[in-house]
Structure 1
Amino acid sequence: MSDENQTIPLVQKLVQETGITETQAHELALLIGWNWNSRMREAKLIQAGAGAEFAGPPVED
């Protein structure tokens, strides 16, 4: 079985469990590799950032 064939179910599982897009899940698989815990951590960060509003750059005192 090739890496590409193994990626599809893992990408789908990541999308289902975290709510990120399939494109984001594919990019994580390519960047991070096969470590599931690392991919889940990054996917959760992506998802959390997707729901947050951007308030602009930090204000320096």
Structure 2
Amino acid sequence: MSDENQTTSLVQRLVEQTGITEAQAHELALLIGLNWNSLMREAKLLAAGARAKVSQIGPLAED
């Protein structure tokens, strides 16, 4: 498997398992590399931060 295919596969898996965006997953892979444990740790932190922010501001108002 080429590096590009491996990165794409890891990014997709990271998005599915943690709920972060694809852009966030790509950025993590660029910053951290392809170490799965490190990627998961950072992705979980990002996801938890996003959930905390939503709980502070509350749900979006519906039209």
Aligned partners of 1:35, 1:6: CA distance in 2, in Å? 11
Query: What do residues 18-58 of structure 1 show as CA deviations (whole Å, max 9, x unaligned)?
Result: 0000000000000000110000000000000001136xxxx
Structure 1 segments, 4+ long, off by >3 Å, are none
Give the CA RMSD over aligned residues. 1.6
Q: TM-score, normalised by structure 1?
A: 0.80
Relative to its length, the structure with more helix (as a share) is: 2
Percent identity between the aligned chains? 76
1:10-49 aligned at under 5 Å gives the runs: 10-49=10-49
Aligned residues: 55
**Where in structure 2 are the equivalents of 1:44-59 lying within 5 Å?**
44-53=44-53
TM-score (norm 2): 0.78
Amino acid at match of 2:10: L
**5+ residue gaps, structure 1:** 55-61
